[in-house]
Structure 1
């Protein structure tokens, strides 16, 4: 067993086949090659040039010598003929467009069956009945019918979500309908959790993220640290440092704003770039390993549920006081407001602090959501003369009403939670 926490990266391996050829794709090759009358490019599909409601396509590298020619892959619309291949099915030069799939029975492009598309259908049905509120958003699906990387609560915040629409780590202020939130690091960590077996003895952390769900510009494997692209996590530049001799601040991409616990590495060498949560996991792993080497049965202690680190390396957003009650804390482990839940109460069991964290992000704004005493969203939120029901993430459910008692979630004690 290793006694260090390693960052896990999934690697994609490309295979290259070497063939004997007299052609070298140098700069200017295509121009001279195509100038020969015997060499000409085939006619490409017009879909890439048309690109309207009925015709569209993808420009790809052509399967010609040195990719000298243009190539357009047509994307068929809903109801258009398609083929999955096979005897008697015919051939097509394109494929079904984004969000569509080829029906093997009818050989027609049909809408993909997915959880996100089902959610869109439910929204559309409610909209046709006039049951959609002003701050509700129709679910966005990607080209494969999955939920896009983030969802927003207009006037409040946006947060990362999985392909199945489950909320993930990462939240920022809402800035408008054109907002984009890649959430690549947050989704990467979620995929790792799904792929790593639960039988692995120690937690396997993924790449470290920042509060918006993007990659921290500094990543480390063991004691070697390097710079990465914040959006896709790819290595950028060639600089690396060894923490045994150099502090993390020597890396050109190091940003102190992303360093939640700088006091941990500002010391004499060997330096560190870690967090209290990572240290706790490492210390416990060492104790378990030492106990096993000494012949003790450590199964009872071999659990890390109480120190499951978030993608930014912190222990979570719910802390505990000396008397056992729960409180809401920020990414630097500082208490947020006076939100608290005492043991043996329903508020203690369902505490999530989502509203407390949202209002913390909205500190500079005048209109904020109302939170329960435990930091959760109150089920009824009022905004500029109208009230609405919301879910645990603060998203509106159903139409807003001027009279609060007309809401479906109304209770006589709706203000007390």
Structure 2
């Protein structure tokens, strides 16, 4: 049996996001002399034209001191490309975003669309769209340059939320305010936690503590490791060095002294006051650390401990979760402050209890001022059929429309006689 020293919590904060620069400095005036005596080859037109047939990426020039501009052409679908490999020389370009170089013989190849889950979902949407089988609130899946799902998925008239590369809904949701909402939502912190959960957590007995997120899935502007706290970029998580106080020691100063401190983002501001030593934590994180300390001490004393069922993990924003159990065992949906959302709950030993996810309750809470909120089941899940302005549609567990809409509920594929009761 492994000793307790092999059980640990990995804190992926701060220093893992710090950027280390190692630029090689060139003699002052070198580039001007170089361009006068040698000159620069004209860059490929792809970057200058940048249209449907000519695209490229500006990169540091592969010359001394990067004096010249360099454009890496991106080839379009079905254009020739080099597969690459030992002895095949240097490629002058590569296949564009969402494409890969498929071999066609003799080291040659052609650019073909990547086969991925997201691309297949796009093909399915396009096929149904041509047949008139898509819904008015159904959006075409959005894929990135590697063929994975983009970080944000939106339900028009409702909300936008974070999603994984596989298209699974993640922590982080905001009110839909038009297409610009998708552009302003980045979900970097939420996706970071998802990768920790999938790649590392399954092989580690104790919870992995990642960076603190805000409710929209971005990096909290303040990240702490032990007693040292830094201001960070909310999109990338990198440590920021700018005007004002950007680093503090909680043994000497409260978190509110940081220039990036935002009381609206501090879910538990009362924990950041008082006398030194100060803190910047949450009740859930405190409880988790207390339990872990107890487990490790118990193991040291010779007891066998059940790691996987003893420690409850916190959400990326440091809260207990959006589903809590009362003393009598009832589950209820709560917001990030722990307050119950309307009357959404479920009793033990019922189907509603087992399937409870509170996704609709949370969306409804975000849309509190809207007159067209989704209809939720009693347990806070999305009702299978949603109606708006005389048109009804089937939705999945995330509230996304599935298939065409109809003015007649009975014509929907998901229709059941008791569709209004759930």
TM over 0.5: yes
1:233 maps to which of 215, 231, 237: 237
Map 1:275-314 → 2, pairs under 5 A: 275-297=282-304, 299-300=305-306, 302-304=307-309, 307-314=312-319
Cα distance change, pair 90–251 in 1 and its aligned pair in 2 (3 A): closer
Cα distance change, pair 6–229 in 1 and its aligned pair in 2 (3 A): same
Deviations 1:183-204 (A, max 9, x none): 0111111112223253423211
- The question of whether the paired residues in 2 share the 8 Å contact of 1:6 and 1:221 is answered with no
Cα distance in 1 between the residues matched to 2:89 and 2:296: 61
Cα distance change, pair 304–249 in 1 and its aligned pair in 2 (3 A): farther
Aligned length: 408
Q: Which residue number corresponds to residue 117 of structure 1?
A: 119
Q: Does 1:207 align with 2:211?
A: yes
Cα distance change, pair 237–89 in 1 and its aligned pair in 2 (3 A): closer
Cα distance in 1 between the residues matched to 2:328 and 2:86: 73
1:168 maps to which of 142, 167, 170: 170
Q: Name the structure, 1 or 2, with higher relative contact order (CA <8 Å, separation 6+).
A: 2
**Long gaps (5+) in structure 1:** none
1:322 maps to which of 309, 313, 327: 327
Q: Which moved more, 1:146-155 or 1:255-264?
A: 255-264
Cα distance in 2 between the residues matched to 1:282 and 1:89: 55
Q: TM-score, normalised by structure 1?
A: 0.92
Cα distance in 2 between the residues matched to 1:343 and 1:113: 43
- The question of whether the paired residues in 2 share the 8 Å contact of 1:185 and 1:209 is answered with yes
Q: Which residue number corresponds to residue 12 of structure 2?
A: 8
Cα distance in 1 between the residues matched to 2:287 and 2:264: 23
Deviations 1:12-66 (A, max 9, x none): 8979698xxxx8243x54234322xx31111221111122221111111111222
Q: Which residue number corresponds to residue 143 of structure 2?
A: 141
- The question of whether the paired residues in 2 share the 8 Å contact of 1:318 and 1:329 is answered with yes
Cα distance change, pair 389–363 in 1 and its aligned pair in 2 (3 A): same
Q: Which residue number corresponds to residue 255 of structure 2?
A: 248
Map 1:18-417 → 2, pairs under 5 A: 24-26=26-28, 28-35=29-36, 38-86=37-85, 92-105=91-104, 107-179=109-181, 180=183, 181-237=185-241, 239-297=246-304, 299-300=305-306, 302-304=307-309, 307-417=312-422
Q: TM-score, normalised by structure 2?
A: 0.91
Cα distance in 2 between the residues matched to 1:91 and 1:109: 17
Deviations 1:144-199 (A, max 9, x none): 11100110000000000011111110000011123221101111111122232534
Greater helix share, 1 or 2? 2
Deviations 1:50-100 (A, max 9, x none): 222211111111112221111111110111000122479676410001111
TM-superposed CA distance for 1:250, in Å, is 1.1
- Give 3-state SS (helix, strand or coil) of 1:105's partner: strand
- The question of whether the paired residues in 1 share the 8 Å contact of 2:73 and 2:92 is answered with yes
Superposed CA RMSD in Å reads 2.3
